[in-house]
Chains A and B, each alone.
Chain A
Amino acid sequence: MNDLNEPVDNAPEFAVSRDMVRRGLLVAPLLLVVSGVIWGTEGVSGSAYGLAIVLVNFIFAAGIITITAPRSLPLLMGSVMVGYVARLGLIFIAVLPVRDSTWISIPSLCATMLVTHLGLLVWELRHVSMSLAYPGLKPKKSSPFN
């Protein structure tokens, strides 16, 4: 916990968010095509913008924990709470300039934000619960519960 020299790559939340960003980029073409079919060109740009917001939000959330957790637990608690408000504010600021733009579809932006956020989380949760990150906890094949 108190090892400040711990490499960032070893931080578990960083690994989780990196996985989610990788998967988000993998499914991005599919999302853009679906949005394009439903909302047209504006849908594609809205979907891309929404996807970028969600992925950057994940990176910020993981970064806050990765930076503060090795330092102290109270700092972690405070920074997560302040970070929550700050990230909501950043999302608001990110959407504010494009709300009246003609090149972006707001329903596409909203739908992509919700679907991507929840979808990537469920996808990652499935992998974490299968104990890929901690193979030692993975149930043995000989276990009667398999």
Chain B
Amino acid sequence: MEALVQVSRLVSELNAADAKAANAAIGAGFAYGLAAIGPGVGIGFVVGKAIEAMARQPESAGMVRTTMFLGIAFTEALALIGFVVFILLGL
């Protein structure tokens, strides 16, 4: 929290253009960080349920792994969108 206050104090001392760039960089960092949380939870859920399914029915492990892989990749698309926003905002 103190770091945020310090950052905002530093930003207020900058001129308008620098302040805009600094705010964009901070916003981009938050966007990427927050966008990575959701997919992380989602992937954990997908993998957890897939492992549960494989433990219950080992004979269907191949199908479960295929579906799990696709689920992981789809969930990861959300993180990629966050990354793209991060790049475009002010990497």
* Chain A residues within CB distance 8 Å of chain B: 1, 11-13, 16-17, 58, 61-62, 65, 69, 73, 76-77, 80-81, 84-85, 87-88, 91-92, 95-96, 99, 106-107, 109-110, 113-114, 117-118, 121, 124-125, 128, 133-134, 137
Contact = CB atoms under 8 A, between A and B. Distances in A.
Taking residues whose C-beta sits less than 8 angstroms from the other chain, chain B's interface range is 20 to 34
5 contacts: A1-B61, A17-B69, A69-B65, A114-B84, A134-B62
A81 B54 contact: no
A93 to B, nearest CB: 12
A128 B65 CA distance: 12
Interface of A is mostly: helix
Question: Which secondary structure characterizes the binding site on chain B?
Answer: helix
A95 B87 contact: yes
Contacts of A88: 36, 79, 83
Interface of B: 36, 39-40, 43-44, 47-48, 51, 54-55, 58, 61-63, 65-70, 72-74, 76-77, 79-81, 83-84, 87-88, 91
Contacts of B39: 84
A91 B76 CA distance: 12
Contacts of B43: 80-81, 84
- Which are the 6 A-B pairs with shortest beta-carbon distances? A13-B69, A12-B66, A110-B84, A73-B51, A12-B62, A12-B65
